[in-house]
Structure 1
Amino acid sequence: MTPKSRTGRLAAKAATGLAATAVLASGPLAASASSPDAGTAAQALPEVNMEAVLKAAQIDPQRPDQTLTDGAAPHVRKVERELADRGLLDREYVDGHYGTTTLKAYADYQRSLGYTGLAANGIPGKRSLTSLGDGTFDVTRVVSPGARTTFDGATFNQRTANMLREAQRLSGVTFDVEQGSYNPGGDPTSAGTHDGGGAVDLYVDGISPKKRTHVVRQLRKVGFAAWYRSPAQGDWGPHIHAVALADPDLSEPARAQTGDYYLGKNGLANDLPDDGPKVEPITTWEGYQRSP
């Protein structure tokens, strides 16, 4: 036989390809190829930054107006939309401001999940926020208090204990704990700030005023709202009081103090300006860990 010319071979190959295409077009693969979902990867869900939502949940209820917390409003709106869809929040409050109405609505949502006590404080925790966003948004920048542990003989969650150890290292002062966290009714003068997580009082006996200020500065640096408390301010002895920012286990009075701290106040009922050393920018434990 005489070999086919190059032109003839190419023509035959093209004809074979056209035939194969015709078979595919008429076969079962044709339907999937023409389907609008074919070859399209599942779209990622929107994200809700838990750190940002926690920041707004601390600050916004303490504001005298409807000012939005920088960087938090888009994430808060997603949370509020889900609360509204469940009939827990009126649509008019889906505005990115995590005020007292949103705080109450979120607490109602937590109770609908069977949570009680601190777990229904209106401050999003990882489990409740993940449940709220199921199929609607993904939770990022998760903040977890961790299991309960001890530091200097007092009870704290793991996150607060880690913060205290780091502030102790930075300050060069060995901390002497007067009162820890999760201590409801332990000290009536505390007005409930130590009922939940994140709160600590430190003795200052034998520490000079300059060193006291240094300790408060280091506590603030690692993510506490911290102040030196003098007997002139209330019915208590001299001590350093601190509350961990963004702790989901905060009691209501402790949450209010963290909001006041962000707003430049002293965290007391007299609502006076902050009297502690300025540490800027204000950061959380997670922000401190990410810093260079």
Structure 2
Amino acid sequence: MAPVTTTRSTTTRSTATRNRATRLLTAAAVLSGLLLSAAQAHAAPPPSPAGASAAAAVTTLPVVDMEATVLAAQIDPRRADNTLTPGAKDSVLAVEQALQARNLLDARWVDGYFGTTTIAAYAAFQRSLGYSGLDANGLPGASSLAALGQGRFTVTHQIGPGARLQRDGYTVDTRTQNMLTEAERLLGFRLTLDQGSYNPGGDPTSAGTHDGGGVVDINVDGMSSTTRTAVARALRQVGFAAWVRNPTQGNWPWHIHAAAISDTDLATQAQNQTGDYYLGLNGLANHAADDGPRIPIQTWEQYQRTH
């Protein structure tokens, strides 16, 4: 009889153990379910269709390349035809469409060509923001371009003149100073200014080119013809429209005149000079052929990306 009792007792204990295991597994499953439900309850809801559409709209805004746009605003007004500045069409179109939306530009001028009509419309927009003087010169500046593009386009490759500083007793902006410093590095000697920037009416023979930023005259006293040409070439290499000027061209002594391409503080007259430079002209009122060293034309920003 003892063996039978022992067997029943063992069987009973095994059954009890299985029951406890089953209860533990059930409890664990219930707890897991509760935790999952709680996590789902606190999870962020999926974006609404309206929210998804808004996000998509942000990512599909046109992109305006500021470098290309500013370049077009210098070259296009000087062209004898409606040839577009390479690489600028889409950016200029986005800017013109935004100007049209503000009733500042007629639809017929929304063509990707940043001509005089678009310059005037952009200057009107700058004035509507409360800007005046150089800040309303028709060249897109970083702040005005951002304001115009609000909700319509984003801006890439932003540029600007930087703060004003003193060099050789004259005022220049930081961008111009950096360009001169790099030209000096290429030449291996220092350049001295005969005239700086932001000098409205300071030299009537300059026809207003020095009224804004980005324009300087280089002293060439003691330089040979070869050295003068080398200086003009170095200035062109770093992004200036630069010419050796001589007394037969106007009421001035020998000097090198240099206008920093795409300086957004350029006076209108200097904008015209940089545009003429791209079109193979000498930047003077006679619109004669460029008489300086011919090298591939580039802006300061383009130079920096390759050096």
Distance 1:90 1:150, change over 3 A: same
Distance 1:92 1:151, change over 3 A: same
Letter of the aligned partner of 1:157 in structure 2?
D
**How far apart are the structure 1 equivalents of 2:110 and 2:211?**
30
Equivalent in the alignment of 2:213 = 197
CA contact (8 A) 1:178 1:203 kept: yes
Q: Secondary structure at the match of 2:295?
A: coil
Equivalent in the alignment of 1:133 = 149
Deviations, residues 266-291 of structure 1 (Å, cap 9, x unaligned): 001111111100111x1111111110
Aligned residues: 282
Letter of the aligned partner of 1:251 in structure 2?
A
Normalising by structure 1, we get a TM-score of: 0.88
Equivalent in the alignment of 1:150 = 166
Equivalent in the alignment of 1:77 = 93
Equivalent in the alignment of 1:288 = 303
**How far apart are the structure 1 equivalents of 2:261 and 2:212?**
13
Equivalent in the alignment of 1:267 = 283
CA contact (8 A) 1:179 1:200 kept: yes
Distance 1:29 1:89, change over 3 A: same
Q: Return the match for 1:66 from 82, 97, 112.
A: 82
**How far apart are the structure 2 equivalents of 1:160 and 1:98?**
24
Displacement of 1:35 = 3.7
Q: Secondary structure at the match of 1:233?
A: coil
Letter of the aligned partner of 2:153 in structure 1?
F
Displacement of 1:173 = 3.0
Find the structure with the greater CA-based Rg: 2
Q: Secondary structure at the match of 2:241?
A: strand
Question: Stretches of 4+ moved more than 6 A in 1?
Answer: 1-4, 27-30
Displacement of 1:21 = 11
1:158-169 aligned at under 5 Å gives the runs 158-169=174-185
Equivalent in the alignment of 1:249 = 265
**How far apart are the structure 2 equivalents of 1:52 and 1:135?**
21
Letter of the aligned partner of 1:283 in structure 2?
Q
Normalising by structure 2, we get a TM-score of: 0.84
Displacement of 1:48 = 0.6
Which runs of 5 or more structure 2 residues have no equivalent in the other structure? 1-15, 20-31
CA contact (8 A) 1:216 1:276 kept: yes
Distance 1:41 1:83, change over 3 A: closer
CA contact (8 A) 1:173 1:215 kept: no
Displacement of 1:96 = 0.3
Equivalent in the alignment of 2:71 = 55
Q: Secondary structure at the match of 2:103?
A: coil
Which runs of 5 or more structure 1 residues have no equivalent in the other structure? 5-16
**How far apart are the structure 2 equivalents of 1:219 and 1:63?**
24
